[in-house]
């Protein structure tokens, strides 16, 4: 689907000057992404990158035994495939769609050509890369030193930052897999949060009732502006 019928809803693209978008627009293709679909597997060459709009993508480190652990979430504040900027043609993680929605695909060569100009796109993507790395570092710290409840609270907040509502469609089992913990631990932590009035849930559906309470219980492991400066270009609606 061409983007001419609907302006990009990605914060990185929305922050670019008109002349850059005039060069990129003919090369961008809007695609619909279904929940559970895989955009990239570790070690497989990337033929393009995705500037996300309404979709949310989870980046997960995959173990040899088939297990995995989520290291970052990407929504309309960023793009999937940032390693291309670092001279890498493959990802070392799996990129899978957590929440269905749309994104804009740009061929890898087109991205590199525009970045090679050394202008606005390179500046914006370098800012985003710093924020993305910051999220990964914070995830590592939370996984090492945080409780299961803190990890759950942080995951809920990161997810909410990237969807337009206070509701998430996600089972305890999926969350447990994302965080690399047992499902019973997620069920116990979610039960405490429900009793406190922070969330309400039934199987496959979680509604956040008190975001401030989640933030307070996450402590230093959550920083609201994980998307960096470009995130604010689209807004929070």
Give me the residue label for tokens 């983007």: 3
Give me the residue label for tokens 């979680």: 206
End-to-end, the C-alpha distance of the chain in Å comes to: 24
User: What pLDDT is recorded for position 237?
Assistant: 36
- Average pLDDT of the residues in 103-132: 94
CB-based contact 154:221 (threshold 8 Å): yes
Per-residue burial over 105-118, b = 16 or more CB atoms within 10 Å of its CB, e = otherwise: bbeeebbeebbeee
CATH fourth-level superfamily of 11-141+228-233: Jelly Rolls (2.60.120.10)
User: What pLDDT is recorded for position 5?
Assistant: 58
Average pLDDT, the chain: 89
- Average pLDDT of the residues in 197-203: 92
Q: How confident is the model at residue 231 (pLDDT cuts 50, 70, 90)?
A: very low
Q: How confident is the model at residue 126 (pLDDT cuts 50, 70, 90)?
A: very high
User: What pLDDT is recorded for position 234?
Assistant: 41
Phi, psi dihedral angles at 83 (to 5 degrees): -65, -20
Q: Where in the chain is the domain with CATH 2.60.120.10?
A: 11-141+228-233
- Average pLDDT of the residues in 41-51: 93
Which one has a higher pLDDT value, 85 or 132? 132
Q: Where in the chain is the domain with CATH 1.10.10.10?
A: 147-221
- Per-residue pLDDT of 172-189, as tens digits, reads 988 998 898 999 999 999
pLDDT above 70: percentage of residues in the chain: 92
- Average pLDDT of the residues in 195-202: 95
pLDDT above 90: percentage of residues in the chain: 72
- Taking 70 as the threshold, does the pLDDT of residue 233 lie above it? no
- Average pLDDT of the residues in 153-172: 91
For 147-221, CATH gives: 1.10.10.10
- Average pLDDT of the residues in 53-72: 90
């Amino acid at each position: 689907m061409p983007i001419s019928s609907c302006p990009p809803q990605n914060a990185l693209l929305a922050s670019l000057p008109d002349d850059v978008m005039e060069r990129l627009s003919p090369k961008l293709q809007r695609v619909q992404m279904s929940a559970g679909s895989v955009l990239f597997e570790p070690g497989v060459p990337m033929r393009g990158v995705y500037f996300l709009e309404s979709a949310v993508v989870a980046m997960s480190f995959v173990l040899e035994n088939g297990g995995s652990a989520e290291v970052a979430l990407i929504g309309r504040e960023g793009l999937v495939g940032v390693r291309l900027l670092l001279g890498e043609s493959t990802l070392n993680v799996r990129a899978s769609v957590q929440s269905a929605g749309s994104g804009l695909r740009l061929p890898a060569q087109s991205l590199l050509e525009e970045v090679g100009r050394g202008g606005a796109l390179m500046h914006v993507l370098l800012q985003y890369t710093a924020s993305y790395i910051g999220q990964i570092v914070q995830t590592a710290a939370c996984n090492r030193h945080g409780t299961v409840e803190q990890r759950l609270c942080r995951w809920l907040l990161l997810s909410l930052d990237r969807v337009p509502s206070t509701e998430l469609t996600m089972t305890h089992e999926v969350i447990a897999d994302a965080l690399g913990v047992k499902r019973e631990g997620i069920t116990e932590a979610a039960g405490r949060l429900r009793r406190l009035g922070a969330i309400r849930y039934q199987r496959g559906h979680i509604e956040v009732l008190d975001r401030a309470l989640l933030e307070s219980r996450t402590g230093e492991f959550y920083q609201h502006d994980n998307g960096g400066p470009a995130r604010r270009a689209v807004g929070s609606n």
